[in-house]
Chain A
């Protein structure tokens, strides 16, 4: 049973470009969460999704960031017009229900030039 798969592992973008981060949850998991770890900081919740629905996006910046979890395919975290401050590690996690432990992917390290 494959774990949570994130790709790419490393992503380099220039300021103003778009970044797309992908997350395939574990088989049988319908709950997906995105977290961000800024340099020298801890994990911060961004968004919680179930298939085709955003349940809680209270941790998402108001502009330029969006997330989706379509019926088919991986969850996507999209950052438009990236800025230097978006440089961080972005982790995805999944669980079968909210009450159960979350399984984390290896993260995507986003670097903005």
Chain B
């Protein structure tokens, strides 16, 4: 069983504050890590696909880093806004693998 862990499970953030959370995964046979944003009553939306150790990706106020040697990725939200409220999912593909294995998600609630 492949364990992809996300922490914390949920997070309350004050509007304007910055925040970050973690995705941990087994470091062996790494191929790629995906991040998705999932708003309530909508479908998951792709944020980033990360493949290289040390990768940093940015999309607006959201950015992510990747450490494949120690098996973790951080997602950062700078200056959180209420529209950032969503569940953020990471998902792993192993080398020679065919599928995404999702973590349980970090649910972010930004309070005005």
Q: A: which residues have CB within 8 A of B?
A: 4, 33, 35, 42-45, 48, 55-56, 58-59, 91, 93, 98-107
Task: Classify chain B: how many residues form its interface, as a range.
Answer: 20 to 34
Apart from the given pairs A42-B105, A44-B102, A101-B49, 15 other A-B contacts in the complex at a CB distance below 8 Å = A35-B102, A42-B89, A42-B103, A43-B44, A45-B99, A45-B101, A56-B99, A58-B99, A99-B49, A101-B34, A101-B46, A102-B46, A102-B100, A104-B36, A105-B43
User: B43 is contacted by which of A48, A91, A100 (Cβ under 8 Å)?
Assistant: A91
Show the binding face of B for A, using Cβ within 8 Å.
Answer: 32, 34, 36, 42-46, 49, 51, 89, 93, 98-105
Tell me, in angstroms, the Cα distance from A4 to B93 when the chains sit together. 21
- Across chains A and B, the number of contacting residue pairs, with CB separation under 8 Å, is 48
> B73 → chain A, closest Cβ, in Å?
15
Contacts of A48 in B (CB 8 A): 98-99
Nearest B residue (CB) for A58:
B99
Chain B min CB distance to A36 (Å) = 11
Q: Which residues of A contact B102 (CB under 8 A)?
A: 35, 42-45
Contacts of A105 in B (CB 8 A): 43
Closest to B44 in A: A104
Contact B43 A107 (CB under 8 A): yes
A100–B98 alpha-carbon span in the complex (Å):
12
Question: Is the pair B98, A99 in contact by a Cβ cutoff of 8 Å?
Answer: no
Cβ–Cβ < 8 Å partners of A43 in chain B: 44, 89, 102
Quote the shortest CB–CB distance from B55 to chain A (angstroms): 14
Closest beta carbon of chain B to A25's beta carbon, Å: 13
CB pairs A–B below 8 angstroms (30 shown): A33-B99, A33-B100, A35-B102, A42-B103, A42-B104, A42-B105, A43-B44, A43-B89, A43-B102, A44-B102, A45-B99, A45-B101, A48-B98, A48-B99, A55-B98, A56-B99, A58-B99, A91-B43, A91-B44, A98-B93, A99-B32, A101-B34, A102-B34, A102-B46, A104-B36, A104-B43, A104-B44, A104-B45, A106-B43, A107-B43
